[in-house]
């Protein structure tokens, strides 16, 4: 089903785009809201994510699930929006106008660490990277990932454990 939607979007079919929107807009909104606790940012990210989907439709990967591609776009758009908000906060003396707290600033300040973590994750075997991203970025449970990929929940648990262990080791080496 997702492949048909991806092919339709790549062919500039509005019906396929509308199907993707109706299938995923609420999930993306919830994902972003959970991360930011901001209705404004969640709404903006959903809109910008689907605009980006349409603009980048020719580069969509037919072999990769639409949900994975959309959540990747949403994550990047969310980071961009958070940076914009941080800049506004930095240059606005009355920051009480904005519903963002120290958590936003901490997220922005830690972007370098996240970039290093992403590079570390990218260097891992593809299946391990996919399992980790489905769990952490898409918020899927171990059993949902296992079912989606046709592997056992123990295997999912093992992959995530190995990623976390490697990231902890990496963080330890940076801090020491």
* CATH number where 135 lies: 1.10.10.10
pTM above 0.95, yes or no: no
* 98 and 176 housed in the same domain: no
79 and 122 share one domain: no
Domain boundary among 107, 138, 167: 107
Residue carrying the six token digits 């606790």: 37
Write down the pLDDT at residue 54: 92
Alpha helices in the chain (DSSP H): 2-10, 14-36, 39-55, 66-91, 102-109, 111-122, 126-136, 142-149, 153-175
pLDDT, residue 94, reads: 47
Write out the residue range of the structural domain in which residue 89 sits. Answer: 1-107
Amino acid 40: pLDDT:
84
User: What local confidence, expressed as pLDDT, does residue 86 receive?
Assistant: 73
> How far is it, in rounded angstroms, from Cα 86 to Cα 84?
5
Cα–chain center distance at 116:
16
Assess whether 21 and 80 both reside in one domain.
Answer: yes
| Torsion, CA 32, CA 38, CA 44, CA 46, rounded to 10 | 30
pLDDT at 163: 87
- Calpha distance 132→160 (Å, rounded): 6
Residues 5, 44 share a domain: yes
Phi and psi, residue 8, nearest 5°: -65, -45
Please list the ranges in the chain whose pLDDT falls under 70.
1, 89-114, 172-176
Cα separation values, 23 from 26, 147, 150, Å: 8, 20, 23
pLDDT in tens, 5-54: 999 999 999 999 999 999 999 999 998 888 888 888 889 899 999 999 99
């Amino acid at each position: 089903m997702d492949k048909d939607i991806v092919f339709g979007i790549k062919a500039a079919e509005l019906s396929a785009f509308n199907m993707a929107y109706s299938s995923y807009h609420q999930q993306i909104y919830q994902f972003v809201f959970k991360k930011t606790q901001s209705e404004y940012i969640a709404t903006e990210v959903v809109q910008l994510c689907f605009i980006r989907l349409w603009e980048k439709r020719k580069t969509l990967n037919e072999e990769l699930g639409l949900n994975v591609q959309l959540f990747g776009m949403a994550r990047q758009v969310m980071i961009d929006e958070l940076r914009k908000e941080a800049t506004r906060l930095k240059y606005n003396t009355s920051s009480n106008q904005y519903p963002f707290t120290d958590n936003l600033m901490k997220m922005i300040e830690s972007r370098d660490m996240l970039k290093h973590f992403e590079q570390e994750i990218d260097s891992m075997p593809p299946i391990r990277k996919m399992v980790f991203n489905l769990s952490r970025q898409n918020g899927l449970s171990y059993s949902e990932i296992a079912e989606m990929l046709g592997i056992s929940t123990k295997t999912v648990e093992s992959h995530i454990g190995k990623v976390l262990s490697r990231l902890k080791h990496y963080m330890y080496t940076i801090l020491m």
